[in-house]
Structure 1
Amino acid sequence: MTKGGHLRAVSLLGFPLVGGHVAQYAIGMTDSLMLGWYGAEALAAVTLAGSYFFVFFLMGAGFAFAVMPLVAAAAGAGEERQIRRATRMGLWLSLLYAVAAMPVLLFSECILLALGQNPEVAGPASAYLQLAGWGLFPALLVMVLKSYLAALERTQIVLWITILAAVVNGLVNYALIFGNWGAPELGIAGAAYASIATQSVSLLTVGAYALWVLPEHELLKNFHRPDWEMFFRVFKLGMPIGLTNLSEVSLFAASAMMMGWLGTIPLAAHGVAMTLSGLTFMVHLGLSNAATIRAGNAYGRRDRAHMALGARVVILLSLAMALLGSAAFLLVPDPLISLFLDPMDPNKPEILIVGASLLAMAALFQLADGMQVIALGLLRGVQDTNWPMVIAALSYWAIGVPASYLFGFTFGWGGVGVWSGLVLGLCFAGVFLMSRFWRHSILLTEEKPAA
């Protein structure tokens, strides 16, 4: 296949995934937007709660991400039974993980206080998590089913289902946060109820589609029966992915905790800047998923040349998107930040000043963030997850977190210093993960995948 052919294939596969991730992210961004209009304190609380929740959500999503390369490789090799087995055990593992994670969501206030958070922020954040935490069950199951459909290159339906979910979330948020349309005014609790409703609608919709359109896979037939060989295979692949996700997301959660030490205004500004940079990251994540699927198919066929050319194309697409995102953050920071703030909020001028400096730092890490997530997608496609886990842990926790504290507090750079540590950790991860793929993992493609 030529470069043009790869570009068309990645675009047709990747951009619906990008749209799906953006729509999924819009759910959390809607919470930030509407709670920002509700008040700076509510925005700070949901920023803290969101960072805390996503630490556990993205770790559990490792099993869903493991389903994607397994299903893609099975589809490439024409092994339909393996598709069903991998998806079922991904659902099993996601449910078991959600049960294990619930206590830390239900009893989050004491943990947040122990981490040095302001009680005025930790209390509302915990109240949000005690409700929204139940959405972890449908959210993880949705991730598995979306990975299953995406690996079969049914990305258009993934996009439309996620758009539906985002619309539902916006409407329920508008009703319950502010008390519109005769609903009670619940503030931050309203956002939590909206998140649960959204994830539940997503699960019902994506589950109905999978069972209706792909009945030959019989995903729920004898669902209660264990398949221990595939269970441990998904676990062996998914746990390192989950720990890799944990390393990265906990770096950002740690940064939120540090910004909380600086005060409510820096934390609110951090929430806005992180929401905007997270939106651009969804583009790279969608391309990364496309890289996983394309690399997984090539791995199933043992076609190294096809994989190498496809990898170069997706890297160039990610680079172009990173440059566009960086330009927006540097050229129009104030209008972007103002979207999240009540025009009459007396704290708005301070939040704009802090937020603009943080967006300038976000512009710096766009390239590194894109590089590391694309590399992870390619590595997952060839089912190489153990060394990437080690690289991520060292980059984020041995470099990123200490650097954030050093620059932010020891050197006294404040929020800009905390974000400088993020940039440094992401740069190390991007360089070493990309090196791992090109120098080692792509060479595995000519070997027959494990049965």
Structure 2
Amino acid sequence: MHAPTPSKAHPWREETVATAQLAGPLILTNLAQSAINATDVVLLGWLGARELAAASIGVNLFIAFLIFGMGLVMAASPIMAKQLGARRHSVRETRRTVRQAMWAAITLSLPVWAILWHAEPILRLLGQDPALSANAAHFVRPLMFGYLPALCYLVLRAYVAALEQPAWALMVSVAGVITNALLNYALIFGAFGLPRLGLFGAGLGSAITQTLMFLGMAVVVTTHPRFRRYRLFGRFWRADWQRYREVWRLGLPIALTLSLEVTVFNAAVFLMGLIGTTSLAAHAIAIQIASLTFMVPLGLSQAVTVRVGLAYGRRDPLGIARAGWTAFVMGVAFMACMAVVMFAVPHGLVGIFLDEALPENRAVIPLAVSFLYVAAFFQVFDGAQSVGAGMLRGLQDTTLPMVFAAFGYWVVGMGTALWLGFGLRWHGVGIWIGLALGLAVVSVMMLGRWLRRGRLGLVPQIA
């Protein structure tokens, strides 16, 4: 069932329902993707501490490239939404976008594979232990072949979301969580008659899971009556350089924006390591909690790109405003509730990860709690910048938001973190305050651009 276009009688209520119907499965899909990574961490923890450490640095290298690729193929979403808004059954234009987003994924995968194949010397160049780097490369080499199918799965997920049928991606993701757990357990520990491959098995299992998830989505879009008439894979080899360039034009700034945010948090991990292992452990717990709450505004961001894009394609300025503000209020309200929870029960949240009765945890717990207080402060800003970026993506406005991210995260955020953390010796709390300030600056700039969208010519005139 296609989500309704808001009627004249109750437009705001119907927009809220449409946004919730679209965002709900996307949020759950994001949580399922996170569950795949969490499962790998648990299983490798059973294998051993050194194996877990090696996989951690290996997967961080892999995810840095995956985030960039994810941003690139996310360009498919606003392009398709605009086309479907202008013409609800825009079969040919939608097919062009899906195909060329996959072409872009293939183009990007070739150099990424070449880089990841040399993960060991790269990690050693970054100052990692030689033995740990060798083990990490043993994990990354099979894992890297899941890169292309992961990106192609994301393209198909964007396709079903643009058609406002995201539940199919959710079902495939849930199946992927189960498959990944069983397959990785079997390949890591040699269960179910399969060989015991340890770290290599973990990487191989994850790559196979990503491939199966893409194939699962491919089966859905080629057999389901709602999707198959688009014939996405028909004459896939035919070049379409105009649409290919459009994907790169919109997608490259999105990729850089996401990478700027992710890398500033990666740099924070490095800074925490310079302070000490206690700060590093406390940071890991606090950032895990903050990452979990972030899945909701992330899903709303993906949904609002579609909803704004549909109104943009209809040349409907009122619909654009309604779609954007509805998702923005939902995202900020949720994160405000999460901020209250973090302020109210920080010890309870940290206690999920650490046992207060153990002596080795007594120094970590109060530090993690102090980080959570800062995280509570930046929850609203984190939600605002994420949904705000999605609103602007719906208007196909991606270049200046990339500049906002560079300035906010790296100039303001990292600059403040270094000054407070090391200059004033506020240590870990100073670093977290810097991260919070960076998010705040980005959110204000994103919102300011959205408020000036008419004067900036981002919104089309009524046809």
TM-score, scaled to structure 1: 0.90
Match of residue 67 from structure 2: 58
Partner of 2:372: 359
The one-character-per-residue Cα deviations of 1:194-243 (angstroms, maximum 9, x if unpaired) are 32122112111011111112222121111111101111111111111111
> Aligned with 1:403: secondary structure?
helix
Per mean C-alpha deviation after superposition, the further-off stretch among 70-79 and 97-106 is 97-106
Kindly tell me: are residues 221 and 233 of structure 1, through their superposed partners in 2, closer, same or farther at Cα, counting changes over 3 Å? same
Question: Between Structure 1 and Structure 2, whose CA radius of gyration is higher?
Answer: 2
**Are 1:89 and 2:100 counterparts?**
yes
Aligned match of 1:403: 416
CA distance in 1 between counterparts of 2:47 and 2:420 reads: 32
Which residue is equivalent to 2:3?
none
Amino acid at match of 1:236: R
Within 2, Cα distance between the matches of 1:6 and 1:201? Answer: 34
Query: In the superposition, relative to structure 1, how do residues 193 and 262 fare at CA in structure 2: closer, same or farther (>3 Å)?
Result: farther
Aligned to 2:163: 152
Asked if structure 2 preserves the Cα contact closer than 8 Å seen for 1:41 and 1:264, the reply is no
1:217-366 matches, cutoff 5 A: 217-264=230-277, 266-334=279-347, 336-337=349-350, 339=352, 347-366=360-379
Structure 2 letter corresponding to 1:108: A
Relative to 1, partners in 2 of residues 1:219 and 1:242: Cα closer, same or farther, differing over 3 Å? same
Amino acid corresponding to residue 301 of structure 2 in structure 1 = S
Shift of 1:129: 2.7
Secondary structure of 1:134's aligned partner = helix
Change in 2 beyond 3 A, CA 1:190/1:418: farther
Match of 1:140 in 2: 151
| Residue pair 1:58, 1:242 contacting (<8 A) in 2 also | yes
Note closer, same or farther for the CA distance 1:196–1:164 as it changes in structure 2 (3 Å cut).
same
Query: More relative contact order in 1 or in 2 (CA 8 Å, sep 6+)?
Result: 1
User: Over residues 131-190 of structure 1, what are the superposed CA-to-partner deviations in whole Å (9 max), with x where a residue is unaligned?
Assistant: 322221111111111111111111111111111111222333444455666666655544
DSSP-derived class of the 1:220 partner:
coil
* Count of equivalent residues: 449
The answer as to whether partners of 2:100 and 2:240 remain within 8 angstroms in 1 is yes
- Give the direction of change, closer, same or farther, for the CA distance of 1:349–1:131 in structure 2 (3 Å limit): farther
Determine if contact 2:27/2:298 at 8 Å carries over to the other structure.
Answer: yes
Residue 438 of structure 2, aligned match among 425, 439, 444: 425
Query: Are the counterparts in 2 of residues 37 and 342 from structure 1 also a CA contact under 8 Å?
Result: no
Aligned residue type for 2:425: G
Partner residue in 2 for 1:24: 33
Q: Per the alignment, in what secondary structure is the counterpart of residue 445 of structure 1? A: coil
* 2:20 is the alignment partner of 1:6: no
Secondary structure class of the residue paired with 1:217: coil
Greater share of helix? 1
Query: 5+ residue gaps in structure 2?
Result: 1-5
Q: In the alignment, is the contact (CA less than 8 A) between 2:316 and 2:462 conserved in 1?
A: no
The answer on whether the counterparts of 1:244 and 1:388 sit within 8 Å (CA) in structure 2 is yes
**Structure 1 pair 440–426 and aligned structure 2 pair: CA distance change class (3 A):** same
1:446 matched to 2:460? The reply is yes
Identity %: 37
**Range that drifts further, 94-103 or 46-55:** 46-55
Q: Amino acid of the residue matched to residue 146 of structure 1?
A: R
Q: Distance in 1 between matches of 2:307 and 2:411?
A: 32
2: CA distance between counterparts of 1:187 and 1:403? 42
Counterparts of 1:22 and 1:428 in 2: how far apart (Å)? 27
- After superposition, residues 91-240 of structure 1 pair within 5 angstroms as 91-117=102-128, 122-177=133-188, 188-213=199-224, 214-240=227-253
Structure 1 SS opposite 2:458: helix
| Cα distance in structure 1, aligned partners of 2:230 and 2:124 | 47
1:412 matched residue in structure 2:
425
Report if the CA contact (8 A) 2:388-2:450 is conserved: yes
Task: Give the secondary-structure state (helix, strand or coil) at the position aligned to 2:425.
Answer: coil
CA distances 1:313-369 after superposition (whole Å, capped 9, x unpaired):
111111222123334434444554455569999854454444333333322221111
Query: Are the structure 2 counterparts of residues 359 and 195 from structure 1 closer, same or farther at C-alpha, using a change threshold of 3 Å?
Result: farther
How many angstroms does 1:310 deviate by? 2.1
Residue 377 (structure 2) pairs with residue 391 (structure 1): no
The whole-number CA distance in structure 1 between the counterparts of 2:111 and 2:353 is 34
Aligned with residue 15 of structure 1, among 24, 45, 54:
24
Secondary structure of 2:74 counterpart: helix
The residue matched to 1:219 in structure 2 has which SS?
Answer: coil
Task: Determine the C-alpha separation between the residues in 2 that align with 1:420 and 1:180.
Answer: 46
User: Structure 1 344/127 Cα, relative in aligned 2: closer, same or farther at 3 Å?
Assistant: farther
**Matched residues in 1 for 2:154 and 2:325: separation?**
27
State yes or no: 1:380 paired with 2:393. yes
Alignment RMSD (CA, Å): 2.8
Q: Cα 1:109–1:398, aligned 2, differ >3 Å: closer, same or farther?
A: farther
Is the alpha carbon distance of 1:405 and 1:297 closer, same or farther for their aligned partners in structure 2, counting shifts above 3 Å? same
Distance 2:363 2:386 in 1: 33
In the aligned structure 1, how far is the partner of 2:200 from the partner of 2:417? 32
Rate the CA distance shift 1:268–1:216 in 2: closer, same or farther, 3 A: same
Q: 1: distance between equivalents of 2:263 and 2:324?
A: 28
Structure 2 CA distance for partners of 1:283 and 1:20, relative to 1, 3 Å: same
Deviation of the 1:54 alpha carbon: 2.2
Change (3 A) 1:327 1:380: same
Aligned residue for 2:234, secondary structure, equals coil
**Contact 1:13/1:153 (8 A) holds in 2:** yes
Taking a change above 3 Å as real, the CA distance of residues 297 and 280 of structure 1, as seen in their structure-2 partners, is: same
Q: Give the distance between the partners of 2:312 and 2:149, measured in 1 at CA.
A: 31
The answer to whether the Cα contact below 8 Å between 2:285 and 2:353 also exists between their aligned partners in 1 is: yes
Instruction: Measure how far apart 1:286 and its partner are.
Output: 0.5
Q: In structure 2, do the counterparts of structure 1 residues 193 and 14 end up closer, same or farther at CA, with 3 Å as the change threshold? A: same
Q: Contact 2:346–2:372 (CA<8 Å) still a contact in 1?
A: yes
